[in-house]
Amino acid sequence: MSGTRESSRWRFLITPKWLGWHALVILSVLGMLWLGNWQLHRAEAGNALSWAYTFEWPLFAIFAVVFWAKTIRDEVHPPAEATPRDAVALPGGIPAPPPGGPRLAGGDGEPGEDDEELAAYNAYLARLTKEVRGHGRWHGLR
Partner 1 sequence: MRLNVALYRVMAYVTGVVLIVLCILAIMQIFVNDEAAVNVVGTIHGGLYIVYLLVAFPLTRRLRLTPGPTVAVLLAGTIPVMTFIVERHISHRYIEPAMAGGAAPHPPVPQPRS
Residues that bind partner 1 (CB under 8 A): 18, 21, 49, 52-53, 56, 59-60, 63, 67, 70-71, 74, 78-79, 82, 85-86, 88-92, 103, 108, 110, 112, 114, 117-118, 120-121, 124, 131, 135-136, 138, 141-142
Residue type, 54: T
Output the smallest distance, CB 1 to partner 1, in A. Answer: 24
Output the smallest distance, CB 113 to partner 1, in A. Answer: 11
The 8 Å CB, 24+ separation contacts for 91-94 are 91/132, 91/135, 91/136, 91/137, 92/136, 94/132, 94/135, 94/136
Cα(24)–Cα(18) distance, integer angstroms? 10
Residue placing its CB nearer to partner 1 in the complex, 92 or 101: 92
Output the smallest distance, CB 46 to partner 1, in A. Answer: 14
